[in-house]
Amino acid sequence: MRYFHNDYNRMCHPAVLEKMTAAFHEAMPGYGMDEHCAAAAQKVKELCGNKDLQVHFLTGGTQANLTVIDAALRPHQGALCAVTGHINVHETGAVEATGHKVIGLPSVDGKVTAAQVEQAAKFHLQDGDREHTVQPKLVYISDSTELGTVYTLQELQALSAVCKKYGYYLFLDGARLGYALASRDNDVTLADIAALCDVFYIGMTKGGAMFGECVVITNPVLAEDFRYLIKQHGGMLAKGWLLGLQMEALLQDDLYFKIARHADELADILRQTLQELGYPLFVEGSTNQVFPVLPVSILPELSKEVTFSPMDRVDEDHQAVRFCTSWANTEEEVQFLCQLLRKLSK
Amino acid sequence: MRYFHNDYNRMCHPAVLEKMTAAFHEAMPGYGMDEHCAAAAQKVKELCGNKDLQVHFLTGGTQANLTVIDAALRPHQGALCAVTGHINVHETGAVEATGHKVIGLPSVDGKVTAAQVEQAAKFHLQDGDREHTVQPKLVYISDSTELGTVYTLQELQALSAVCKKYGYYLFLDGARLGYALASRDNDVTLADIAALCDVFYIGMTKGGAMFGECVVITNPVLAEDFRYLIKQHGGMLAKGWLLGLQMEALLQDDLYFKIARHADELADILRQTLQELGYPLFVEGSTNQVFPVLPVSILPELSKEVTFSPMDRVDEDHQAVRFCTSWANTEEEVQFLCQLLRKLSK
Amino acid sequence: MRYFHNDYNRMCHPAVLEKMTAAFHEAMPGYGMDEHCAAAAQKVKELCGNKDLQVHFLTGGTQANLTVIDAALRPHQGALCAVTGHINVHETGAVEATGHKVIGLPSVDGKVTAAQVEQAAKFHLQDGDREHTVQPKLVYISDSTELGTVYTLQELQALSAVCKKYGYYLFLDGARLGYALASRDNDVTLADIAALCDVFYIGMTKGGAMFGECVVITNPVLAEDFRYLIKQHGGMLAKGWLLGLQMEALLQDDLYFKIARHADELADILRQTLQELGYPLFVEGSTNQVFPVLPVSILPELSKEVTFSPMDRVDEDHQAVRFCTSWANTEEEVQFLCQLLRKLSK
Amino acid sequence: MRYFHNDYNRMCHPAVLEKMTAAFHEAMPGYGMDEHCAAAAQKVKELCGNKDLQVHFLTGGTQANLTVIDAALRPHQGALCAVTGHINVHETGAVEATGHKVIGLPSVDGKVTAAQVEQAAKFHLQDGDREHTVQPKLVYISDSTELGTVYTLQELQALSAVCKKYGYYLFLDGARLGYALASRDNDVTLADIAALCDVFYIGMTKGGAMFGECVVITNPVLAEDFRYLIKQHGGMLAKGWLLGLQMEALLQDDLYFKIARHADELADILRQTLQELGYPLFVEGSTNQVFPVLPVSILPELSKEVTFSPMDRVDEDHQAVRFCTSWANTEEEVQFLCQLLRKLSK
C-alpha cells in the first residue's frame, strides 16, 4: 500500500527522531522554559528577521487556533474567515466553545480577499444597531489553504492593510505553511509573514515533526500573558522541550523547507499526470494537496493499492478526492500512483 | 408622527397597565414563585391542551434564546437555523457566547424546511470524521419569522417528524407568535405548537406587554433544572410576578390574539395599498411586518411623517424598508400612511 | 401578615408607578436610546460629579454582575471577592459561566480589605509558575454587603489604592447602595464611589423600582463596547425607557435616598428591640438587613404574623434569621414586629 | 546536579523510546483510530477487568481534566474537590473556562471525604432557593493527591457510594496513579478504581511516557460522544498512535507499576533520612512526592547539588519543599541527597 490520504500518517522525519534520541538523557525544566525551546525560538526569530516577536510551542492546530483566537478577542468579537476555513468546518466548534462566532465568508479557492474584509467591516460599522451583531475583530486565513492554494505577497499585503485600517488582527494558520512557502506559486517569505501578520504559526505536525505547532506572535498586545491562555486551554506540554527539540531538528539546514519542496514537487508530478489523463482538479493548487475529480468507477481498484481521502461527490459518476504528499513519500510511490491512474483510466 | 419602525415602541396595552396597577399593593414571593405566574402558567397549559408542560417567564427574546439553547445542548452540539434567524444575525453572538455554534441554512423566506434538516443530519452522520464537526442537535425556527412569514401546520409537522427521527430538539422562537397565529395564512393552533415543539415561547414584549417572554417546555428532558439556567444567565427577575401579571392580562378574553389580529389586519391594509401602487414586497408575508421595496427618492418625505426601519438597499434607486404594526396603531394611522404613500408616488 | 423576608416583595414605590403611568402614551426608540434613559443618566452624572462616566440600565443584579465582569476580564483572569460575595454564593455560577474563576477571600463581615487584595496580588506575582494559576484582575465588593455592613471612605480609598497599584479593577455591587449611603455608619458619597471605583451600580430593584440596576462606568477601558456585552448577555431591554423612567422617578427630590433612610431607621428600631431582648446579632450592621440569632422555639409563632428569611442554624436551639425593611414597610409594622418579639420572648 | 524538582524532567523511560523507534516506519490512521491505541486500550480493559469501558488518550492532565468535566456537566453544575485539588489551584481556571464552578472543600491531606460530599449534597438540596446556587454533580479526587497521599479502598468505596446516592459522578485524576497503586499504604487495584469511579485516568506523563494521559470511562453516559469533546478542546492528537505506542510500552511486563514502585521506594529512603534528621513532613505520605519542612539556612547549599521545588514558607526560618522521585532517579542519587542533608544538618 502507498499512503496519500494525508500528510501526517508517519511518525516523523528521521532527523527529528535522531535529535530526540540524542537528547534522551537530558534533564530539563518543564513547560517550555528550556534551552531547546529557546534555541528554536531564536532560530525562528532569525528566519523572521524580528528579534522582538514571541514564540510558543503548542501540540496541535485546533489547540493553536482556539488559544490564539481566545487570547485575541473580547467576548462580543468574532473571527472572519473563508467558509472553508478549518476553524469553521473541522474543529467541532472549538472557537465557538471559547465564546466567539466564526463568520464565514464565501470562497471558492479557500482564500479570503481584502475586499471581503473591507466589505464586512463597512457593513458592521454602517449598522446603526451594530451592538446587536458580532463585532469582527480578527481575520483568520490559512496558507496553504484547506484547498491547497497559496496567498501571494500582494494578497497578504492587502489583507494586512485592511486589517490595520479597521483595527483587526490578521492571523495566519500555517499548519501547512512549509508547503505554501515551497510552492512554485509562492512569492512570500517567512519574514514577509512576520511583518504582515499579527500572529501565525509554523506547522510542525504536517511538516515533519511527531506533533507540534510553532506559534509566532508579532503584535505585543496579543503576546501579553499568552502562556496563561496556553495553560488554561490544556496546551502546555509538561515536557515542553520535546517541541523545542523537534523544531531545532526541522530548522537545521533548512530541513523544514526541503521537506515541503520535496512534497510539492511530488504533487506536481501527480498533477501533470492528472492533466494528461484529462481529470479536472476540484481546485487548482500548487502545494502538497491535490484534489482531482475522478470517475467513481475506478475508486474501488484505486483504493486497493493507494490511500486517499474522499471529498465531495460531484455528480453521480464523479467524486472529488484528495491525495496528499509529504516527506514520507518517495518519487517511486508517486510514479506508482500515476501509473495506476493511467492503467485504470484506459 | 406615526410610528411603524417596530412593534415595541409603546409601553404596553392599557389592560396590562391596569392589571399591574390593580395589583400594586400586593406583597409577593420573589423569582416567579408567586400566584400570578402560577395562574398565567395554568392558562397557558389550558391553551396548549397539556397540563404537564413547564412554563417560565423571562424578560426578553435574546435571553430566552440563549437560555433555552444552552439548557438543551452539550458542548459539542450546535443549533441549525435559517441564515436569517435572529440568533444568527441579531443577538451579538449570544448563543456562541454559551459555547455553541449556530449553523445557518440558506433561506429566502426566513423559514427552515424539513428537507434541509434531513440533509444536514445525513451529512453529519455520513461523515467518517464526524467528531471533527459540530453535531447538530437543535432546530431553531421563528414563527412568524424575521421576514414576517408563517409556518403551516404541514411544515411544522414535517419539521417535528425529522427532528424526532434524528433526536433533535425543535425550538420555536415565538417573539411574534401572536402575529403568526392571527395571520390569514395560519392554520396552526397553540396546541399544535405545543404538540410539535420541544420548547417554544409566546412573545410578550412584541405582543402587548411592557416586557417578557413566556417559555413553554414540553420535553421533560429540557425542563430539568431549567430554573438554574435562568438564574445563571441573569434572567430571573426578582419581582417575577410582574411577568405573571402581564401574561394574565394578555390571556384574559383572548386579548393577546385580538391584539395580533388587529395588527395583522392593519398590515394587510398597507400591503393592499403597496400592491395598488406597484411597490413589490421584499418578502411576501401576512403578519404585522411589511417589507416593501420603495424608491429611495420618496424616503426623505416619508420619514418626516412616519417612522420605519431601513433594510437592504436593493439597487441604486430602491431600498427595502420595514413597517411594523402593533396594538398601538390605529386604522387611522395606517390610512394616513397609505395616503402618504399614494401622494408621494404620484 | 407583615413582610420582612426581603426588600423586593412589593411592586414599586408609588412615585415610580406614577411616573410610568404618566408616560404611558409616549412612543420611544428602543434599547435604551431614549430621552428618559438620557435624562436619568444625566442626573446620575451630576450626583457623581463626573460628566464623562457612562451609564447603562440593566434589569437585575446577577445580569449586571456577569456582564460587567465578563466585559472587564481576559479569559485567564479572575475576580477576587469575599467568600460571602453574591457572585460567589448566590448566582448559580453566573461568573464562572462566562469563563472566569471567582476567588473567595475569607470574611466574617462580608467585606474585603485592602490588605487581603495586596496579599493575593503579591502571592500571584511571587509565583514562578504564575501562568498555572488564575490572574487576579478585578476586586468585587458589595456596599452594603450581603451581611448588611458598609464600607467606610477610608476602606474604599485603601481598596482603590491597592487596585490601582496592581492594575486591578474595583467593582462595587450596589444592589443595596442606597441602604449603605443612608446608614448611620456611612461617610461615603456617590461622588466618592464614582471617584474610587472603576465601575459600580446603583441598585434599583431593591431601592424602590419594579426592576433595574443602574450601571456606572468610570474607567473608559471598561466602557468600550459595553452595549455589545449587554446585548450578548440578554440584558438589553427592548423597551429600555422603562428603566430610564424609573430611575428618573427615584432620583427626583432625592427619593432614592429618602427611601433608604426610612428603611435603615426602621431596621435600627428593630435592632434596638433585639438588643433589649438580649438577642445577639449574627453580624452587626446599620442598614436595612438585620440578622438576629433567635431561639428556634419562638419561630413557629413568629412566622404566623411576620415573614423573615432563615439563615444558618447556629446551634440546636438557635437559628440566625434575616429581617429586611424597605420603603414598603411602615413604622407601625416594625413596632408590631418588636412587640411580637417581646411577647414571644417572655 | 541531581534532579528531584518534579517527576517529569526526563524524556521517557528507555522502553518507551525503544517502542517508538521500533514503530518508526509504520503508516497509521490518524486521531487515535489505530491499532496501537486499540491494543493499549485492550490491555487497559484487561487490567480493569471490564471489557465495556472506553479508553481515550489525551496529551496532558489539564486537558484531561477540563475535557472530562466539560463532558460530564450541564451548565449549572459544578465540581466538588479538595481546595488543594489541581483543578482548583494549578490549571489557570481551565474548568471555569468551560463554564463550571470548582467548589473547594477544606482538606489538610489533599483528600476529599465521603462525609464532606454528603454534607455538600444535603446543603444544596435543603436550600429552598437552590437554583440560585451551583448544583454539585461531580466529585474530583486525585490519587495520589497533590500532597502525595493515597486513598484507601474503604475511602473510595464510601465516596463511590455517596456519589451514587446523590447522582454525582466520581472522577479520579490519576496523573500519579502509578505512584498511588505502588505505595505501601495502598490497598486498591486498578479494577477497584474502574469499578468505583465513573471516569479516571492513568497518568502517563509522570509515569514514564514522553506525554499522555489514558482516560478510562466506565459510565456510558459520560462516554457518549466523548471524542467530539476531545477534538473541540484541542486534545485530539493528529498522530494519535504515538500515545497508544507509549501506553503499550508502559503496560508491557508491568513496567508502569515497576517504575512507580521504584520511585516510591526511593522516596521512602528519603523519608527515613528526614525522620532521622528530625525534619518534619509538611504532609505525611507514601508516594514519590516528599514534602519536608527544612531550615531556610541549608537551602542555598542544598540547591547547589540537587533540584527541588519550594512550597509554603512555614515560618521565618523554615520552608516546606518538595522532592520528587521518578523512574529516572537511581538509588545512588537518593543516597547522595540523603548524605547531603545529613552533612548540611550538622
For D58-107, write each residue's pLDDT tens digit.
Answer: 999 999 999 999 999 999 999 999 999 999 999 999 999 999 999 999 99
Q: Which cell goes with A282?
A: 476540484
Q: Report the helix count and the strand count for chain A, using DSSP H and E.
A: 15, 13
Residues C239-285 have pLDDT tens digits of 999 999 999 999 999 999 999 999 999 999 999 999 999 999 989 99
Instruction: Name the residue facing B228 among C10, C92, C239 (closest C-beta).
Output: C92
Q: Are residues B205 and B331 in the same domain?
A: no
User: Looking at this protein, which amino acid is placed at residue C272?
Assistant: Q
Q: Work out the minimum CA distance from A302 to partner chain B, whole angstroms.
A: 19
Residues of B in Cβ contact (< 8 Å) with C3: 27
* Interface contact B330, partner C, CB < 8 A: no
Closest listed residue to residue C11, CA positions, set C235, C216, C244, C246: C246
- Which residues does D249 contact at the CB level (< 8 Å), separation at least 6? D13, D15, D16, D18, D19, D20, D209, D255
Mutation choice for B interface testing from D66, D221, D225, D226 by most B CBs within 10 A: D225
Does one domain contain both B139 and B265?
A: no
Residue A13 in any domain: the answer is no
A199-203: strand order across its sheet: A54-58, A213-217, A199-203, A169-173, A135-142, A77-82, A102-105
Shortest CA distance to A95 belongs to which of A65, A50, A134? Answer: A65
| pLDDT the model gives residue B128 | 87
Give per-residue pLDDT as tens, B207-235: 999 999 999 999 999 999 999 999 999 99
Q: What is the gyration radius of the CA atoms in chain B, in angstroms?
A: 20
Across the interface, which of A78, A92, A96 has its CB nearest the CB of B131?
Answer: A92
Residues B183 and B234 in one domain: yes
C70 band by pLDDT with thresholds 50, 70 and 90: very high
Q: Are residues A149 and A296 in the same domain?
A: no
Report chain D residues whose CB lies below 8 A from the CB of C8: none
pLDDT of D128 reads 86
Question: Is A293 among the domain residues?
Answer: yes
- DSSP secondary-structure letter at C258? H
Segment 210-249 of chain A within 8 Å of chain C by CB: 225, 227-232, 236
User: Which of B63, B70, B96, B309 is the best mutation test for A, with the most CBs of A within 10 A?
Assistant: B96
Low-confidence ranges of chain A (pLDDT < 50): none
Q: What is the pLDDT of residue B313?
A: 87
A16 domain residue, yes or no: no
Instruction: Give CA–CA dist D236/D227, Å, rounded.
Output: 8
pLDDT at B52: 96
DSSP codes of every residue in D86-119: HHHHSSTTHHHHTT--EEEE--SSS---HHHHHH
| Pair B107, B130 in one domain | yes
CATH label of the domain that carries residue C317:
3.90.1150.10
C-alpha cell at B297: 427618492
Q: Are D179 and D6 in contact (CB under 8 A)?
A: no
Q: What pLDDT was estimated at residue C169?
A: 98
| Domain end marker among D207, D230, D254 | D254
pLDDT of residue A23: 98
**CA torsion sign, C278 to C279 to C284 to C289?**
negative
Neighbours of D312 (CB within 10 A): 11
- The confidence score (pLDDT) of residue C346 equals 84
Q: Which chains touch B (3 or more CB pairs under 8 A)?
A: A, C, D
Does the model's pTM come out above 0.90?
yes
Does B265 share its domain with B314?
yes
**Beta carbons of D236 and A62 less than 8 Å apart:** yes
> Do residues B295 and B227 both lie within one domain?
no
| B92 at interface of C, judged by CB pairs closer than 8 A | yes
Minimal C-alpha gap between B90 and chain A (Å): 5
Instruction: Calculate how close chain D gets to B232, using CA atoms only, in Å.
Output: 7
> Which residues in chain D touch residue C96, judged by CB atoms under 8 angstroms apart?
78, 96, 99-101, 134
Judged by a CB distance cut-off of 8 A, whether residue B92 touches chain A is yes
Instruction: Give the integer Cα–Cα distance in Å for B23 and B37.
Output: 13
Nearest CA distance, A125 vs chain C (angstrom) = 13
Residues with Cβ within 8 Å of C57's Cβ and at least 6 positions away in sequence, in order, are C32, C37, C40, C212, C213, C214, C215, C237, C240, C243, C244, C247
Q: In angstroms, what CA-CA distances link C235 with B100, B233, B237, C62, C228?
A: 19, 9, 11, 10, 10
pLDDT of amino acid C335: 97
Residue B131's pLDDT is 97
Tell if the CB–CB gap between D102 and C101 is shorter than 8 Å.
yes
**Percent of chain C scored above 90 by pLDDT?**
97
**Partners of residue D31 in chain B, C-beta under 8 Å:** 129
B5, B89, B205, B211: best to mutate for the C interface, most C CBs within 10 A: B211
Write out the H or E segment, with its range, that includes residue C202: strand C199-203
Final residue before a domain boundary, out of A210, A239, A254: A254
C70 has a chain A CB within 8 A of its CB: yes
Longest dimension (CA), chain D: 63
- List the single residue in A89, A99, A132 with the smallest CB-CB distance to B96: A99
The C-alpha atoms of residue D78 and residue D159 are separated, in whole angstroms, by 17
Q: Does residue A209 lie within any of the structural domains?
A: yes
CB contact under 8 A, A231 and C71: no
CB atoms within 10 A of CB A317: 11
Instruction: Count up the domains in chain A and report the number.
Output: 2
The closest of B232, B200, B230, B202 to B217, measured between CA atoms, is: B200
Q: Residue A94: its pLDDT value, please?
A: 98
Q: Which of D30, D86, D33 is nearest to D62 (CA)?
A: D86
Predicted local distance difference test score (pLDDT) of residue A120: 97
Q: Which residue of C has its CA nearest to B208?
A: C239
Domain that residue A124 falls in: 27-254
Angstroms from A231 CA to nearest CA on chain C: 6
Last-in-domain residue among C195, C222, C254: C254
Taking 70 as the pLDDT cut, the residues of chain B under it are none
C64, C211, C234 member nearest B237 (Cβ): C211
Q: Are D76 and C92 a contacting pair at CB < 8 A?
A: yes
Of C17, C211, C236, Cβ closest to residue B21: C17
**Chain A residues within 8 A of B134 when measuring between CB atoms:** 92-93, 96
pLDDT digits (tens, 9 = 90+) for A240-269: 999 999 999 999 999 999 999 999 999 999
Using a CB-CB cut-off of 8 Å, the residues of chain D touching C129 are: 90
**So what's the pLDDT on residue D162?**
98
Chain C: nearest CA to A174, how far in angstroms?
A: 24
Tens digits of residue pLDDT in C72-82: 999 999 999 99
Whether D201 and chain A come into contact, CB under 8 Å, resolves to no
In a shared domain, residues A284 and A297: yes
Q: Per residue in C206-250, pLDDT tens? A: 999 999 999 999 999 999 999 999 999 999 999 999 999 999 999
β-strand partners of B142: B173
Same domain, residue pair B270 and B131: no
Q: Average pLDDT for consecutive 10-residue bins of chain D (346 residues)?
A: 96 98 97 98 98 97 98 98 98 98 97 98 93 98 97 98 98 98 98 98 98 98 98 98 98 98 98 97 94 96 96 92 96 97 94
Task: Say which of D1, D24, D206 has its CB closest to residue A17.
Answer: D24
Q: What is the pLDDT of residue A313?
A: 87
Enumerate the residues of chain C whose CB falls inside 8 A of the CB of residue A31.
129
For residue B130, give the H/E element and its range.
none
Probe site for chain A from B81, B92, B102, B308 (most A CB atoms < 10 A) = B92
Which CATH number fits the domain that encloses residue D148? 3.40.640.10
ipTM computed for the complex: 0.97
Q: How confident is the model at residue C128 (pLDDT cuts 50, 70, 90)?
A: confident
Residue B298 backbone class (left: φ over 0; alpha: ψ -120 to 50; beta: rest): alpha
Alpha-carbon gap, residue C74 to C67, rounded angstroms:
13
CA distance A168 to A72: 10
Closest CB to D229 among B76, B229, B236: B76
CA distances from C241 to B10, C32, C175 (A): 10, 6, 20
- pLDDT attached to residue B45: 98
Helices D114-126 and D153-166 pack at an angle, to 10 degrees, of 20
Pick the residue from chain A with its C-alpha nearest to D30.
A9
pLDDT of residue D312: 87
Distance of alpha carbon A184 from alpha carbon C323, whole angstroms: 79
Residues B19 and B80 placed together within one structural domain of the fold: yes
Q: CA of A309: which chain B residue's CA is closest?
A: B128
Q: Which of A10, A11, A34, A246 to probe by mutation at the D interface, max D CB count within 10 Å? A: A11
Cβ-based neighbours of D291, under 8 Å, separated by 6 or more: D147, D148, D281, D282, D283, D285, D311, D320, D321, D322
**Closest residue in chain C to residue A99, using alpha carbons only:** C98
C159 and C86 within one domain: yes
Which residue type, as a one-letter code, is found at position B182? A
pLDDT band at C313, cuts 50/70/90?
confident
Q: Within this chain, do residues B330 and B201 fall inside the same structural domain, yes or no?
A: no
